[in-house]
Chain A
Amino acid sequence: MREMPAANPIIYDSSKCIGCNRCMEVCQVDIFIPNPEKGKHPIVAYPGECWYCGCCVMECPVEGAIELRHPLMNKVHWVEKSILMKNNKE
């Protein structure tokens, strides 16, 4: 049985990850464990403990193999300034 976590901070692109485990070794919180299947990306064993610092992404040798994603509640909104100005005129 599995349960969806409150946040899913790390998303791997399996086609890009080379399974080097550098992300796991640099993580100061130690949220990863090695994948039992050699060569595959680490398992995010403790997703709730992620500090969202991005060191795993910085350490990754393949661009785009890891995506760091803040939980949805932390999504910050932005808007084109010209739209705000236009609303003002209306």
Chain B
Amino acid sequence: MYDYKWPYPLEYDREEIINADVLVLGGGIAGCMAAIAAARAGQKVLLVEKGATKRSGAGGSGCDHWESAATNPCSKVTPEELTQAMLHDNDGFNNGISHYIECREGYDRLLDIEKMGGKIRDTEDEFVGAEFRDDGTKFMFAYDYENRFTLRIWGTTFKPAMYKELKRLGVNIVDRVMVTSLLTEDGIQGARCVGATGIHTRTGKFYIFNAKSSIICMSRPARIWLFSAELPGLCEFRPPQCIGDGHAMGWRAGAEFTMMEKSVRAEFSAAGRSYPPYGAGNNHNTWYAASIIDSRGKEIPYADRDGNILKDVKDRFRPAKGQKFFMKGGGIDFPKYEIEGPETLPFSKMIEEGYKLPFYADLTDLPEEERKVIWGMMVGQEGKTKVPIYQNYTRQGFDPSKHVLQCYGAGWTSASFLPQERQLFGLPGGFFNDWTLGTNIDGLYVAGDALYASDCYGHAAATGYYAGRHAAKYAKVNELKHWDKKQVEDEKRRVYAPLKNDSERGIGWKELNMAIAKTMQNYCGEIKYDDLLKVGLSRLKEYEENIIPQTFAYNPHELIRLLEVFDILTVSKIIIEASLARKISMKSLCFVRGDSIEDDSSKEKLIVIKQYDGKVVTREVPVNYFGDLKENYEKHNQDYI
């Protein structure tokens, strides 16, 4: 606890107005690529980012692999095959449009990023001759070495390269501003989006952004069930300021959402329950296919999908007999048989067979290029591993040819969470989109993690660029509409209110976040019941009506943290409303009801939910609402093809 004077000038209530053709909300991977696309289409682009665009967002510090680059010259899988596999793997509960865009355009974006200065090839010839390397293109592949659709990348170089490109293109970048609301025509909920409001995270200044079209490129929600007042930065996998502001302001503006009832038992990164991601023993993702040994040094074998033990390390990178391809990477927890890849024996079986705990990840006996590509390239490039894991462990004496790293959970989680400790992870809910990545709100587009069933770097980059193109197209044929004065004044009152409350009796952002998380664990935990969900909802409404008016913030930094928690509260309400609307247990949505009804008419339907005039409105949409992937993609993208 320090007693320093706030170091920045306080500019509460001061107002700045900025106009643009295309407004990009959020400067992560999706936001940067959206702004680049719109600027290349000749539009005047404004990008607003809460942190610092150079390194902001979940992928700002790095990334080690790029999934679904189906159109790269070495790939043996088509975009259609890959998207269909992703849809099938989730019984249809996946975003066919956005993942088809990822499969179809992801490789184009990689080449784009390379031109900007990002490293995507082994240009130093460090891995010449390795089985995962194509010596012609110098591309390095991960997981399925035969089908070659996932590339290993030097992701720590990507974000600064995008930042440079934004500047080169003349994009107006406004850093350190939290976007707080969407502005709609005449202030009417559900009407055309005409811009947004924001507040400076250091000075508290108020911003009005006025644009022809807007793109939400903000994160998926977080800190709904998980919170630690001491270590809020370690609560979730994604950065602490990425908590789903976009979802909350979209809901208030009348945008449609889907799959918001889906949550999973937390996997990692909550303070206290887990170890640094990819920094403890595991054999998934960054660490695939490390050997796993027990505490006597005995190796736990890998098996293919049929249970055949794989004797050779090389077999860990090949599809099983009769299998076209397998998938690994983010969000593949319990894969379907068709795409199931090699895996160490299930945890229960290991114990049954007498393997002794704890287990360790062991790179010592791997072929040298496999060891070097995991400990070195992958661990050196993944999001939060370069400095705290690769550099620090090396400095402390970790030698991958000698040491083995302890596992703390079964598989890739490195954690032990309780059932009610949940996360929006593994293709969670988000904005409902059409083939332009547009929403039900005219002029409002969505990309990256804000979309429903989103995941991974390539998905963010590909959908960002795509939404940027379509938002630019919209801006070219639509006039700039003025914002509604009353809507702005109401928002100003809302965001500054906590500053005027009583500090002595005040409730801070941490206290409120903790209360919301406890409420969600109690009333909207692993198993849902109508009765409990309804009580949970009324608790949240009580917070909204009685507690928010008592909240207090000492400075602009605390104020934006508090506004984030207001957004967390809104998102929690969406989750409970969506859970109430889904009456049956659904394995594909990790949704369990203790009072599931017999009727399964909604089984293959997405529940699409929005708010209108203070009421919740739901409708059901078939999971395959997007129609034929190739045909519809081509219909909407003639100018790109």
Contacts and interface: CB of A to CB of B under 8 A. Distances in A.
Interface in B150-201: 156, 176, 201
A68 B557 contact: no
A53 B61 contact: yes
Contact of A81 (B2, B7, B402): B402
A28 B52 contact: yes
A49 B1 CA distance: 14
Contacts of A39: none
Given A34-B7, A45-B2, A54 B406 contact: no
B384 A54 contact: yes
A67 to B, nearest CB: 8
Given A58-B156, A68-B392, A49 B233 contact: yes
Given A30-B51, A76-B275, A43 B2 contact: yes
B293 A81 contact: yes
Contacts of B281: 76
Contacts, number: 155
A54 B392 CA distance: 11
A84 B296 contact: yes
Interface in B52-77: 52, 54-57, 60-61
Nearest to A77: B406
Nearest to A4: B1
A85 B297 contact: yes
Contacts of B232: 48-49
Given A77-B406, A85-B297, A88-B296, A50 B279 contact: no
Interface in B191-227: 201-202
Contacts of B50: 28
B4 interface: yes
Interface string A53-90: 11101110000000011110110111111101101100
B236 to A, nearest CB: 9
B297 A81 contact: yes
A51 B2 contact: no
A71 B449 CA distance: 28
Nearest to B53: A28
A1 B293 CA distance: 49
Contacts of B388: 52, 54, 68, 70
B234 interface: yes
A79 B272 CA distance: 23
Contacts of B56: 28
Interface in B404-446: 404-406, 408
A18 interface: no
A8 to B, nearest CB: 11
Given A25-B52, A28-B57, A80 B402 contact: yes
B360 interface: yes
A81 B387 contact: no
Range class of the A interface residue count: 35 or more
A81 B404 contact: yes
Given A28-B57, A58-B156, A48 B230 contact: yes
Contacts of A55: 55, 60-61
A20 interface: no
Contact of B296 (A31, A76, A78, A87): A87
Interface string B216-257: 000000000000011111100001110000000000000000
Contacts of A69: 392
A49 B387 contact: no
Nearest to A76: B280
Contacts of B393: 76, 78
A45 B387 contact: no
Most interface-central of A6, A34, A76 (chain B CB within 10 A): A76
Contacts of A81: 293, 297, 360, 362, 364, 402-404
A55 B385 CA distance: 11
Contacts of A6: 230-231
* Size category, B interface: 35 or more
Contact of B404 (A3, A48, A54, A84): A84
A71 B228 CA distance: 14
B1 A3 contact: yes
B241 A28 contact: yes
Nearest to B396: A78
Interface string B1-15: 110110100000000
A90 B296 CA distance: 10
A77 B50 CA distance: 36
B7 A33 contact: yes
A55 to B, nearest CB: 4
Interface in A1-44: 1-3, 5-7, 9, 25-31, 33-34, 36, 43
Given A29-B239, A76-B279, A2 B4 contact: no
Contacts of B573: none
Nearest to B361: A78
B156 A48 contact: no
B404 A79 contact: yes
B276 A76 contact: yes
Interface in B68-104: none
A25 B398 CA distance: 31
Given A48-B232, A58-B61, A78-B405, A88 B297 contact: yes
Interface of B: 1-2, 4-5, 7, 50-52, 54-57, 60-61, 156, 176, 201-202, 229-234, 239-241, 272, 275-276, 279-281, 293, 295-298, 360, 362, 364, 383-384, 386-388, 391-393, 398, 402-406, 408, 557
Q: Which 3 A-B pairs have the closest CB atoms?
A: A54-B387, A28-B51, A6-B230
18 contacts: A2-B1, A5-B230, A7-B231, A26-B52, A33-B4, A43-B4, A49-B233, A50-B234, A51-B234, A52-B233, A54-B387, A68-B387, A76-B393, A79-B403, A81-B364, A81-B403, A84-B360, A87-B295
Interface of A: 1-3, 5-7, 9, 25-31, 33-34, 36, 43, 45-46, 48-55, 57-59, 68-71, 73-74, 76-82, 84-85, 87-88
Given A53-B383, A68-B387, 19 more contacts: A2-B1, A2-B2, A6-B231, A26-B52, A26-B55, A28-B239, A49-B233, A50-B233, A54-B61, A54-B388, A68-B392, A70-B388, A74-B279, A76-B275, A78-B360, A79-B403, A81-B293, A87-B295, A88-B298
